[in-house]
Amino acid sequence: MASGYVAPLAVSSGDGPTLTAAAAASFMPVTAKYTFPPNPILLPSFMRVVAHGRISCAVTTPGTARFDIRLGSTVIADSGPMNLNVVAKASVPWWLEVYLYARAAGSTANFMSFFRFLSEAVIASPLATVGGNGEILSSVAGGPDTAPAVGNNVDVTVPNAFDAFFTQTVATGSLTCHGFILEAASVAVP
């Protein structure tokens, strides 16, 4: 078992599915799937997710974007709803970074998480030709205007598949992941 350094656990440059429904679904490329063995979480430790791709949203009914991270079926981190741009955006780039810091370890673990989402599809973003992309920082299911909080406990005595989900509130847009990286530090990995 290796521990005490940052290690890439899953890397993919292939596309994930194109999501268009107003329902939570995994956006990860199949080649980025990783399953943690039992009891991998040590203190202190963290995981970092970096994902990027393209997103579209409709004028007047853009809805919200929401990302969540799961171990098994347990949501361990949730960005909450993040408002999308009321100006139509078609296949513009997005970039997501998520940091998950282990706050408790043992038979269960939990994490404090922070989501950073950048895209021209973020509310109030200027056109790329005049100023670039908007950015939203969020850390809890309540969304960007809620105080950070620790996520749900997850049973780590069993193997847990890592997955990342996207939810839009209205089926007027789409999201595709083009690249994904999962890294961990001080997490016991084979």
- pLDDT, one tens digit per residue, over 65-111 is 999 999 999 999 999 999 999 999 999 999 999 999 999 989 999 99
* Three-state helix/strand/coil letters over the chain: CECCCEEEEEEECCCCCCECCCCCEECCCHHHCEEECCCCEEEEEEEEEEEEEEEEECCCCCCEEEEEEEECCEEEEECCCEEECCCCEEEEEEEEEEEEEEEECCCEEEEEEEEEEEECCECCCCCCCCCCCEEEEECCCCCCCCCCCECCCEECCCCEEEEEEEEECCCCCEEEEEEEEEEEEEECEC
* Number of domains forming the structure of the chain: 1
In a domain, 90, yes or no: yes
Give me the pLDDT at residue 132, please.
Answer: 77
Q: For 33, left (φ over 0), alpha (ψ -120 to 50), or beta?
A: beta
- pLDDT, one tens digit per residue, over 4-61 is 578 899 999 789 999 999 999 999 998 889 999 998 888 888 999 999 999 999 988 8
pLDDT-derived band of residue 2, with 50, 70 and 90 as boundaries? very low
In a domain, 1, yes or no: no
In a domain, 109, yes or no: yes
In a domain, 22, yes or no: yes
In a domain, 74, yes or no: yes
Q: Say if residue 64's pLDDT is above 80.
A: yes
pTM above 0.85, yes or no: yes
Domain range spanning residue 132? 6-187
Burial of 145 (0-12, 13-18, 19+ CB in 10 A): exposed
Task: Please compute the mean of the pLDDT values over residues 166-180 and round it to a whole number.
Answer: 95
pLDDT-derived band of residue 1, with 50, 70 and 90 as boundaries? very low
